[in-house]
A and B are shown apart, each in its own frame.
Chain A
Amino acid sequence: MIYTQSPLAISLFVVFVLFVLGLSFYLSRRASSADGYYAAGGNIHWATNGIAFAGDYLSAASFLGICGMIATAGYDGWMYSIGYLAGWIVALFLVAEPMKRLGKYTFTDALDSKFNSKAIQLMAAISTLLVSIFYLIPQMVGAGVLVQPLLGLPHWVGVCIVGIVVTLIVATAGMASTTYVQFFKGGMLLIMSTVLVGMVLYRGLSTTPADNNGTPYHDFKTLHADSALVLVEEGYTVVSGLDSAFGKAGFVKLAKDGKESIWSMLKSDTGYTLEETLFVTKMADGTKLFNGSPAEDGQFFPIGHIKELRINGEEVTTTGAVGPLAFLSALKDSTIVLWGKKYVKIDGSTTTIYYQKPTPGSRVLRPGLKFKVDNATGLQKFNFLSLMLALFCGTAALPHILIRYYTVPSQAAARKSTIVAIAAIGFFYVLTLFMGMGAMTNGVINIADNNMSAPLLALSFGFVMFSIISSLAFATVLGTVSGLIVAASGAIAHDLMDNFLGMKMTDRGKVLAGKISAVIIGCIAIYLGIIFEGMNVSFLVGWAFAVAASANLPAILMLLFWSKTTAPGIAASILVGLVSSLGLILVSPDMWVRYGNLPADAPVQFNSPALISIPLSFLALVIVSMITQKGAAVSGAKEAA
């Protein structure tokens, strides 16, 4: 898709970045001590911290990824919202207050509070680093996705801008600036998303999506042909017919006025009905053509429309303004055009064809379009259950979330800030359903990259709304990345250099070490954001959750609730959780594709490892703790003496 850059969007973006940097430099005097840098002095108000939690948590995955997934796969995208929110219950009921009681700057402190063990310090620091880096990838990918329409710059430039700005934020003022940036961003995101949903409901539903800033919705044509593929409509010639690779995949390539197009074939009584598709051809030399033309020609149209709209049992062309429940009810009764995807390979070039799939709304508003749950094999069900487990267990194990418990003054404040977070995040996740379904039916989706669905929905209401929402989405990335970099730099400077290696540093030295670590992590994040371009950001976050849930949560829970837990048990649990989850991800079908292989050839046939790696991590902790009970008892006796 081709986007037109708006001076307003660019101005808002620049103003926001300057505001954030100004705030960071202003707050930098609070970050001259280690307490100030890593925990914002531990004096943030619980309500501020709660919204900052929401700012931390509502990352590019939530805003861009979930909305994009709902826009293309309906309810299955919303399953991520439900799973993410459920994870906060684990954080509130089991983790919040003990984390505050036991730790100082990092979650390693809490794990190590009873033992002072080098093994725990090392393993927990490595885990924090790896989980943070895994979580950084989708944020950086999201940044790259955003700057293309916002500033007209390529993906890698967006990644670099975020990397540099965030590294500056963190390196100047650490957790103090990160907290206020998150608070500001979290609050604005909630307000503006509510406004956007209000506009979607006020516009209502229509079988003809509204003009997208003066550009009418593309009229997808239908042609007819007899059984020998002779077309009824004049002017078209068949380029690749039934016997070609396209024909075998259920498509036909036609030409008219020298321009080629691909059509999906539906067999009818008299021959074939042909429906217009969208297609992206990746040539052998790596160049890409969109609907047969370079991207600059603007021939790759935005999609998303309703085929038959029904309200209260009657077929209509438009609903007018509707309430939230009437909006969902009308969608449930209507037929929505979703888009399937197939690949055709010919002589080194690969054509990705997006074809229309009219689907009943009631089918869209229940699971099963993305996740294989209907007539699913055991492995497919396993994959689904494993993902839902990872989402449930991941939140309370994310290092950048856990360190926020150290910025408030008391255990009660830790609890209350979690409840504020649940209210804010839960409300936002309700909004994601309306934003996603709004994008699905308003003709705004870039089907080749659905991450931009929410900002493009805003674009359908004009450049002002688009500029605000895009700048906020960018802020979302900035905020989350800064939180992650604080967590990762704490793991290097506090857990590894200070605690594990026992390096003697002054308070200022510790802050300097944290800042240098932040710069290094920022550079790694930039590199990974560039090489993972094009993957759905929410999907990538699913992996980060799986690694966090496997490596960290078993150790946290067993430390709190099983008195026989030993230091070697905790270290073993983290190691096994990390190795098994990362190992299974690296040999999963989705990674196999990135190595240039076919997904069916991958050694394991599921993408989410949590259902194996979490039990393994628990098992490792129990076995090693049982084996090392004697040593622990002796050590405990010595301590008592």
Chain B
Amino acid sequence: MGHGPAVKLGKDDASSYKTRLGVKMFIIYTLVYAAFVGLNATNPKAMETIIFGQTAAVIWGFGLIALALVMALFYNHLCTKAEKQMNS
């Protein structure tokens, strides 16, 4: 049995652009996540600091979840734009 896709896919000239963009955005998010984990491991008491009425840990947690969604939407916007330009 072959390994190709279950449905026939069209040619995608934006593929390499999207790959490069994905790698860059992955690196940005990974650095933020690594900073969060590193701070928890090395200075957990700092996560008890109060910022905007909440512990820093709660702010970091909400921030990481919100950042994931914002970056995902931005990535999709750029990818869709590239697909329209390069595949037309």
Measured CB to CB, the residues of A under 8 A from B are 35, 38-39, 41-43, 75, 78-79, 81-82, 85-86, 88-90, 92-94, 97-98, 100-105, 109-110, 112-113, 116, 325, 328-329, 332, 362-363, 365-368, 371, 373-374, 376, 381, 384-385, 388, 392, 406, 409-412, 415-416, 418-419, 422-423, 426, 429-430, 433, 494, 498-499, 510, 560-561
Q: Which residues of A contact B10 (CB under 8 A)?
A: 410
Q: Which residues of B contact A82 (CB under 8 A)?
A: 36, 61, 64-65
Q: Which of B9-33 contact A (CB under 8 A)?
A: 9-10, 12, 15, 18-19, 22-23, 25-26, 29-30, 33
Closest Cβ of chain A to B56, distance in Å, is: 7
Measured CB to CB, the residues of B under 8 A from A are 1-7, 9-10, 12, 15, 18-19, 22-23, 25-26, 29-30, 33, 36-37, 40-42, 44-45, 47-48, 50, 53-58, 61-62, 64-66, 68-69, 71-73, 75-76, 79-80, 83
Q: Which residues of A contact B5 (CB under 8 A)?
A: 42, 100-104, 406
Q: Which residues of A contact B73 (CB under 8 A)?
A: 419
B65 and A85 contact, CB distance less than 8 A: yes
Q: Which residue of A lies closest to B41 (CB)?
A: A381
Q: Which residues of B contact A102 (CB under 8 A)?
A: 3, 5
Q: Report the bound CA distance from A433 to B64 in whole Å.
A: 14
Q: Report the bound CA distance from A210 to B84 in whole Å.
A: 57
Residue in B1, B22, B30, B50 whose CB lies within 8 Å of A362: B50
Q: Which residue of A lies closest to B3 (CB)?
A: A109
A89 and B71 contact, CB distance less than 8 A: yes
Q: Which residues of B contact A385 (CB under 8 A)?
A: 37, 41
Evaluate whether A86 and B68 lie within 8 angstroms (CB atoms) in the complex, with A105-B6, A365-B55, A366-B55 already known. Answer: yes
B25 and A93 contact, CB distance less than 8 A: yes
Closest Cβ of chain A to B69, distance in Å, is: 5
Closest Cβ of chain A to B25, distance in Å, is: 5
Q: Report the bound CA distance from A498 to B2 in whole Å.
A: 10
A366 and B7 contact, CB distance less than 8 A: no
Residue in A39, A86, A376, A429 whose CB lies within 8 Å of B33: A86
The binding surface of chain B is classed by DSSP as helix
Could you jot down 10 A-B contacts, CB within 8 Å? A81-B61, A86-B29, A86-B33, A86-B64, A105-B6, A325-B54, A381-B42, A422-B68, A422-B69, A561-B23
Q: Report the bound CA distance from A367 to B4 in whole Å.
A: 46
Q: Which residue of B lies closest to A105 (CB)?
A: B6
Evaluate whether A43 and B7 lie within 8 angstroms (CB atoms) in the complex, with A411-B12, A422-B69, A426-B69 already known. Answer: yes
Q: Report the bound CA distance from A561 to B36 in whole Å.
A: 26
Q: Report the bound CA distance from A1 to B64 in whole Å.
A: 37
Evaluate whether A422 and B72 lie within 8 angstroms (CB atoms) in the complex, with A93-B29, A373-B44, A429-B65 already known. Answer: yes
**Beyond known contacts A100-B9, A419-B75, A433-B58: 4 more, CB 8 A cutoff:** A39-B6, A41-B7, A101-B15, A384-B41
Evaluate whether A329 and B54 lie within 8 angstroms (CB atoms) in the complex, with A94-B26, A381-B41 already known. Answer: yes
A418 and B72 contact, CB distance less than 8 A: yes
Evaluate whether A384 and B40 lie within 8 angstroms (CB atoms) in the complex, with A42-B5, A366-B48, A416-B76 already known. Answer: yes
Q: Report the bound CA distance from A85 to B12 in whole Å.
A: 28
Q: Which residues of B contact A374 (CB under 8 A)?
A: 44-45
Residue in A42, A332, A422 whose CB lies within 8 Å of B55: A332
Q: Which residue of B lies closest to A374 (CB)?
A: B44
Evaluate whether A412 and B55 lie within 8 angstroms (CB atoms) in the complex, with A89-B26, A100-B5, A367-B47 already known. Answer: no
Q: Which residue of B lies closest to A312 (CB)?
A: B53
B29 and A332 contact, CB distance less than 8 A: no
Q: Which residues of B contact A368 (CB under 8 A)?
A: 44
Q: Report the bound CA distance from A86 to B36 in whole Å.
A: 11
Q: Report the bound CA distance from A328 to B61 in whole Å.
A: 13
Closest Cβ of chain B to A385, distance in Å, is: 6
A362 and B48 contact, CB distance less than 8 A: yes
